[in-house]
């Protein structure tokens, strides 16, 4: 397991291995204890990796699905298998729209080709999706860096709160919410990150701390409920989160608990930004009410860390994995094309 990561992309949550007809992913369910790579050679295996959250995070889910489709076409490039593989991969997780976006992009790239040309074309498309994610996140980082620089002119360390993992592990590199943090750190700005643990699956505690540590970014782990108190005490200068799907009006769907942080930020005058690649914007949905929210298993809540029971047997559980933060609670959205008011996404991405 790498303990020190210098530069931009020294660890890879996903590596294409075309010579082996496969991709290699890092099993994120094993972090922070073990850096275990898993070979994915079929669409079934790609679907399993997404469903079980060996890979997770909206952009990484999308790229994994794209390669999964290419692998399916290597085995059988018929129209029937193209449709079946798309449906199988799309059914793995409902909320992150990058999944549908990546699959549809690959389908469009291959459907008019003869079957013999489809697998290679799909693989090229998956490579392009992966490469574009790196440049997109770098651009998000640069736009977000301006916000941190502005804060740093008045106070250092700049105190940043983030939720879940919208980091390098959730993408092909840099992360979205973490990209401005990494660039600020590399630029010599003193930053400190409050990492909320992110019950129930603990992506903040397990993953965000892991990658911030790997890059040497100072950080402190907090329980989810501590964020609002820290904001009230004036110990947070900016909140930076990612997104799984953003509606056309700028409502932001992200990991459960994001909405509470946004409410607390609004009440305390703390700027609150979502870092969002355009691949996460769902223009077909007018507002957040139309976003499907994944409901996950009760055991994630009943069993702390996967094994220690914390409630009487049979206790009823609700486990929505995501929530929607209304656009009015956001200060802005950071995209690869710049920062805009949440209701003004079309000014950056005209039809
Ligand atoms: O359930 P997860 O771990 O896939 O949820 C991840 C998030 O909510 C991230 O914040 C989001 O996907 C953005 S990743 C750049």
Give per-residue pLDDT as tens, 126-157: 999 999 999 999 999 999 999 999 999 999 99
Domain boundary among 107, 132, 157: 132
Is 323 found in the same domain as 181? yes
Nearest ligand 1 atom to the CA of 56 is 4
Is 149 found in the same domain as 233? yes
Is 169 found in the same domain as 92? no
Is 334 found in the same domain as 190? yes
Q: What CATH number is associated with residue 86?
A: 1.20.120.420
Mean pLDDT of 337-345: 97
Percent of the chain with pLDDT over 70: 97
Is 173 found in the same domain as 112? no
Distance from residue 308's CA to the centre of ligand 1 (Å):
25
Q: Whose CA is nearest to atom 8 of ligand 1?
A: 255
Boundaries of domain holding 17: 4-132
User: 170, 179, 321: which to mutate for ligand 1, most atoms within 8 A of CB?
Assistant: 170
Is 26 found in the same domain as 126? yes
User: 60, 178, 203: which to mutate for ligand 1, most atoms within 8 A of CB?
Assistant: 203
Domain boundary among 132, 164, 198: 132
Helix 178-186 and helix 115-152: axis angle, to 10°?
60
Nearest ligand 1 atom to the CA of 167 is 15
The strand ranges marked E within the chain are: 14-17, 22-26, 37-40, 158-163, 191-196, 219-222, 238-241, 245-247, 252-255, 272-275, 281-282, 303-304, 308-309, 322-325, 332-335, 338-340
Is 277 found in the same domain as 149? yes
Number of structural domains found in the chain: 2
Mean pLDDT of 100-124: 98
Cβ–ligand 1 distance for 321 under 6 Å, the answer: yes
Cβ–ligand 1 distance for 246 under 6 Å, the answer: no
Distance from residue 135's CA to the centre of ligand 1 (Å):
19
Nearest ligand 1 atom to the CA of 96 is 12
Distance from residue 80's CA to the centre of ligand 1 (Å):
31
Distance from residue 58's CA to the centre of ligand 1 (Å):
6
Distance from residue 114's CA to the centre of ligand 1 (Å):
36
Dihedral angle over CA of 301, 244, 219, 161, nearest 10 = -100
Cβ–ligand 1 distance for 244 under 6 Å, the answer: yes
CA distance 340 to 331: 9
Mean pLDDT of 340-344: 97
Distance from residue 57's CA to the centre of ligand 1 (Å):
4
Q: Which residues make Cβ contacts (< 8 Å) with residue 58, sequence separation at least 6? A: 96, 97, 98, 99, 170, 242, 243, 244, 245, 279, 280
Is 281 found in the same domain as 145? yes
Domain boundary among 103, 132, 161: 132
Mean pLDDT of 180-192: 98
User: Number of H helices and number of E strands within the chain?
Assistant: 12, 16
CA distance 23 to 38: 8
Give me the active site residues, please. Answer: 244
Cβ–ligand 1 distance for 242 under 6 Å, the answer: yes
pLDDT of amino acid 307:
80
Residues in the chain: 351
Query: Does residue 36 carry a pLDDT above 90?
Result: yes
Each residue's pLDDT tens digit, 241-291: 999 999 999 999 999 999 999 999 999 999 999 999 999 999 999 999 999
Is 200 found in the same domain as 118? no
Cβ–ligand 1 distance for 170 under 6 Å, the answer: yes
Cβ–ligand 1 distance for 162 under 6 Å, the answer: no
Q: Whose CA is nearest to atom 5 of ligand 1?
A: 57
pLDDT of amino acid 11:
82
Cβ–ligand 1 distance for 139 under 6 Å, the answer: no
Cβ–ligand 1 distance for 166 under 6 Å, the answer: yes
Is 322 found in the same domain as 302? yes
pLDDT of amino acid 131:
98
Is 259 found in the same domain as 119? no
Band (pLDDT 50/70/90 cuts) for residue 9 is very low
Identify which of 153, 190, 191, 161 has the alpha carbon closest to the alpha carbon of residue 177. Answer: 161
Distance from residue 125's CA to the centre of ligand 1 (Å):
23
Q: What CATH number is associated with residue 231?
A: 3.40.50.10470
Nearest ligand 1 atom to the CA of 275 is 15
Is 115 found in the same domain as 12? yes
Query: Does residue 5 carry a pLDDT above 70?
Result: no
């Amino acid at each position: 397991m790498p303990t020190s990561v210098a530069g931009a992309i020294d660890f890879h949550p996903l590596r294409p291995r075309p010579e082996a007809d496969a991709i290699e992913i890092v099993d994120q369910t094993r972090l922070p204890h073990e850096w275990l790579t898993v070979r994915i050679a079929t669409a079934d295996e790609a679907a399993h990796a997404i469903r079980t959250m060996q890979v997770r995070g909206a952009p990484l889910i999308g790229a994994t699905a794209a390669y999964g489709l290419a692998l399916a076409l290597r085995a059988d490039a018929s129209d029937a298998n193209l449709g079946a593989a798309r449906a199988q991969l799309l059914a793995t997780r409902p909320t992150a729209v990058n999944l549908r976006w990546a699959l549809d992009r690959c389908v469009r790239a291959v459907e008019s080709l003869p079957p013999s040309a489809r697998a290679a074309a799909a693989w090229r498309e998956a490579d392009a999706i992966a490469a574009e994610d790196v440049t997109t996140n770098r651009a998000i980082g640069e736009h977000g860096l301006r916000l941190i620089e502005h804060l740093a002119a008045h106070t250092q360390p700049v105190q940043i709160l983030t939720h879940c993992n919208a980091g390098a592990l959730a993408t092909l590199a840099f992360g979205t919410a973490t990209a401005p943090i990494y660039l600020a750190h590399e630029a010599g700005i003193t930053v400190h990150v409050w990492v909320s643990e992110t019950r129930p699956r603990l992506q903040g505690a397990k993953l965000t701390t892991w990658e911030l540590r790997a890059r040497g970014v100072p950080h402190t782990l907090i329980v989810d409920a501590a964020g609002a108190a820290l904001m009230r005490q004036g110990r947070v200068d900016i909140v930076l989160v990612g997104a799984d799907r953003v509606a056309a009006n700028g409502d932001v769907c992200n990991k459960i608990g994001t909405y509470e942080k946004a409410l607390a930020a609004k009440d305390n005058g703390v700027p609150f930004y979502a870092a969002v690649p355009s691949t996460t914007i769902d223009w077909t949905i007018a507002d957040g009410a139309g976003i499907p929210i994944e409901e996950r298993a009760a055991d994630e809540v009943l069993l702390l860390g996967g094994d220690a029971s914390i409630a009487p047997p049979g206790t009823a559980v609700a486990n929505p994995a995501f929530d929607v933060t209304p656009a009015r609670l956001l200060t802005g959205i950071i995209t690869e094309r710049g920062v805009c008011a949440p209701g003004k996404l079309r000014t950056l991405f005209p039809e």
